[in-house]
Amino acid sequence: MRYLFLFIAGTCLFACTPSSKKTATVDAIHLSAGNLYDKDTVLLIAHSAAEKNGASDKLFLEGIDKYRNKKNPDGGIESFKQSILLKPQAKAYYELGNALFDKQELREAIKAYGIAELLDYKPLHKVLYNMACAYSRLGDNEWAKYYLVSAIEFGYSNVKNIFADKDLEALRKDNEFEFRSVVTTALSGATDPEKLQWNLFWHEFKPLSFPVSLDMQYADKLGDDYISYDYERFVPEMRNAQFSREVGSEYYHVGLVKNSDSVKTLIYAVKDVIMEGSAPAQYYIVSFDKLGKLIDKLLIGGQKQLDEPFKVATIQQNGTIQIGLFKQVYEKSPDTAGYEDNKLLESKEIDKETYSITADGHFVKQQILLGMNG
């Protein structure tokens, strides 16, 4: 499942990728109220604490008794957090999320569910469904829909509850026809093995917040959100000219731009890791049909060759893509000197392009009228 791939990738990163947090000795790192939802810290401690912790388990069971049996969510929250401080476990974060939800502390509940998901809670669809409910309660219907579809595609099948749950009322009322269509489509594809890998892939791309500008600094936000080689059929850059795996680059999720029953439009990034220094990323916007077949693709950020203009894209809520074309001059040629200690002397915009996304997922270049570009 998509979360298993991310879990494996995350484990390798902690073992192989140096950073101030990840190379610190485990003994020096502890969970506290201030970092209870810090993903890097939780993962590092969880991976190092494989042995059973009786005190943590006892506090977890006390929390269950308070929350489930005695109907005391406040007491449950206290015990779940104490259990987590001793040993972070998926089950404790999941029940913490439930207790916080009952208290209508929805944003913190979402954080707790997110860590439960990260720690591979089973069954996963229960976490995803509860996150959909929390976002619906908050009125964030885009995220609510995303997590509801994810829950269905990962095994949630209580149709009656989907259409009656008061926690999803805001999402249903937002557009009842679309809600029914989205749910029906998700249910019809949930057991189709041919769609499974595609669903795993596109669900890893979270909806973007607009407007978003893919400038040279955006690469700093990519973090460790790598795309697994399991999905190379959707990312052709992962294969070189000899159709072998391209290991000189890293591939990152950027986000979801368009999400309809028939079209998914997303953006991913490619970074060269062979060249000296931090080479600018390339950004591709790609549309697929509902089965994962390529519809259209466009390079909207970075450059393939150094003699080409450097592209910087800004994407608007309505799908408009504005691309600035820049001439960049470095102190030394990056081709031979790389980017490390190589100062960017000039970055001058020489042209701009505008694209729109059609209903069927194609990227259409717009004509810029004379006098509109000055």
Count of CB atoms situated within 10 Å of the CB of 262:
13
Domains of the chain as residue ranges with CATH: 2-202 (1.25.40.10), 212-366 (no CATH)
Mean per-residue pLDDT over the chain, rounded: 84
| Amino acid, single-letter form, for residue 357 | I
DSSP string, 238-305: GB-TTSSB--SEEEEEEEEEEE-SSEEEEEEEEEE-SSSS-PPPEEEEEEEETTS-EEEEEEEEB-SS
Overall pTM surpassing 0.75 (yes/no): no
Residue 32 contacts by C-beta under 8 Å, 6 or more apart in sequence?
85
Residue 13: pLDDT over 80: no
CA-wise closest residue to 249 among 231, 234, 266, 270:
270
Percent of the chain at pLDDT exceeding 70? 83
User: What separation in angstroms does the CA of 47 have from each of 40, 42, 122, 266?
Assistant: 11, 8, 17, 32
CA dihedral (76, 80, 81, 85) positive or negative: positive
Tell me the three state secondary structure of residue 197: helix
pLDDT, one tens digit per residue, over 189-225 is 665 655 777 887 898 899 999 999 999 889 888 887 8
Residue 307: what are its φ and ψ, rounded to 5°?
A: -85, 0
Q: What is the pLDDT of residue 272?
A: 80
Count of CB atoms situated within 10 Å of the CB of 21:
12
Residue 318: what are its φ and ψ, rounded to 5°?
A: -80, 5
Residue 287 contacts by C-beta under 8 Å, 6 or more apart in sequence?
258, 263, 264, 265, 294, 295, 296, 297, 357, 361, 362, 363
Residue 359 contacts by C-beta under 8 Å, 6 or more apart in sequence?
263
Count of CB atoms situated within 10 Å of the CB of 188:
11
Q: What is the pLDDT of residue 155?
A: 84
pLDDT, one tens digit per residue, over 154-189 is 888 888 999 999 999 999 999 999 999 889 888 876
Judge contact between 322 and 352, C-beta under 8 A: yes
- Please, what is the angle between helix 90-102 and helix 54-64, to 10°? 30
Residue 301: pLDDT over 70: yes
DSSP state of 57: H
DSSP state of 159: H
